[in-house]
Amino acid sequence: MSVQSEVRRLTAPDIRARKGGEPIVCLTSYHAHTAAIADKHCDVILVGDSLGMVMHGLETTVPVTLDMMILQGRAVMRGSRRALVVVDMPFGSYEASKEQAFTNCARVLKETGCGAVKMEGGTRMAETIGFLAERGVPVMGHVGLTPQAINVIGAFRALGRDVAEWDRFEADAKAVAQAGAFALVIEAVAEPLARKITTYVPIPTIGIGASVACDGQVLVMEDMLGLSPRVPKFVKRYGDLGPGIDKAIADYAAEVRARTFPGSEHVYPMKAKKP
Ligand code: KIV
């Protein structure tokens, strides 16, 4: 009999069942090693398309490809054991039709082994989300600020600060929930709107810049660790790793130049000669 105890990975239904319960902790990760650390503390690891900006230095998430998401999704799956891993569908991989969405979501699920996908958009994506959910693809919705729409919206800004704007966002949230999404990211909306949406949608809301009223929170790991040069108002910096990395690399460079690294303790000695 095996003595190994298997860690059970959280599933989309587990997260769905957390509505109104213990807050859901979600963080982005794009690599195996950071995923292993996040896995100890988080319920959900999001392989966000923010990787285009954070890892690749792109100005927006628009150029991110499905292959980039699959590569990093696989790394995160290898590094984690317990958290539900959700992979973002990048711009252009799911909007054309529900069939296109199914083909590409199936590729993501098969090639990464992740437990769910995320896609941006409210009412306009409802039919697709329903189609996917009926065919075995758990979908996390994403409403409010949708960064993939940057070329239409013009700039990243907080939304719903005027009640006149609310109808659209409320309709989006309702449509995504009714379509069968298991959870909903709400990005950069005023607190009262996030609270209202959280109260009436039956699925957990996961806020990013949407207040403590949400059922859970998500942040971009590099933003909260102090590794991103510019961050939105809603980011709290829980660490300041930039100066530590800077010092470590400066010390390394200085020691290489001074020929003090590698020292004798980092060198392989010859085998002792047999008598
Ligand atoms: O891509 C991402 O990291 C995201 C979060 C900001 C929610 O979508």
Q: Which amino acid is at 226?
A: G
pLDDT of residue 6: 82
Q: How far is it, in rounded angstroms, from Cα 198 to Cα 206? A: 9
> pTM (2 decimals)?
0.95
Smallest CA separation from ligand 1 atom 4, residue:
48
Task: Tell me the best of 27, 46, 140 to mutate to test the pocket of ligand 1, counting ligand atoms within 8 Å of each CB and taking the most.
Answer: 46
What pairs with residue 140 in β-bridges? 118, 183
Catalytic residues: 187
3-class state of residue 238 by DSSP: coil
Name the residue with the closest Cα to ligand 1, atom 3: 48
The series of mean pLDDT values per 10 residues for the chain, 275 residues long, is: 73 98 98 98 98 95 98 98 98 98 98 98 98 98 97 92 95 98 98 97 98 98 94 95 97 98 95 85
**H or E element, residue 140:** strand 139-144
Ligand 1 lined by 218 (C-beta under 6 Å): yes
Residue 120 belongs to what H/E stretch?
strand 116-120
**Residue 224 backbone phi and psi in degrees, to 5:** -80, -15
- Distance (angstroms) between ligand 1 centre and the Cα of 118 equals 9
SS3 206: strand
d(CA 183, CA 46): 13
Q: Is 88 in the pocket of ligand 1 (CB under 6 A)?
A: yes
Under a CB-based contact definition with an 8 Å cutoff, are residues 39 and 81 in contact?
yes
Closest atom of ligand 1 to 220 CA is 3
Q: Is the CB of 48 under 6 A from ligand 1?
A: yes
| Dist CA 166 CA 193 (whole Å) | 7
Rounded distance, CA 92 to CA 104, Å? 10
Q: How much is the pLDDT for 19?
A: 98
Distance CA(109)–CA(177), nearest Å, equals: 21
Exposure letters 1-37 (e unless 16+ CB within 10 A, then b): eeeeeeeebbebebbbebbeeeebbbbbbbbeebbee
Token readout for 83 is 């958290």
Q: 34: CA distance to ligand 1 center in Å? A: 16
Question: What's the 185 CA to ligand 1 centre distance in angstroms?
Answer: 9
CA pair distance 186, 207, nearest whole angstrom: 5
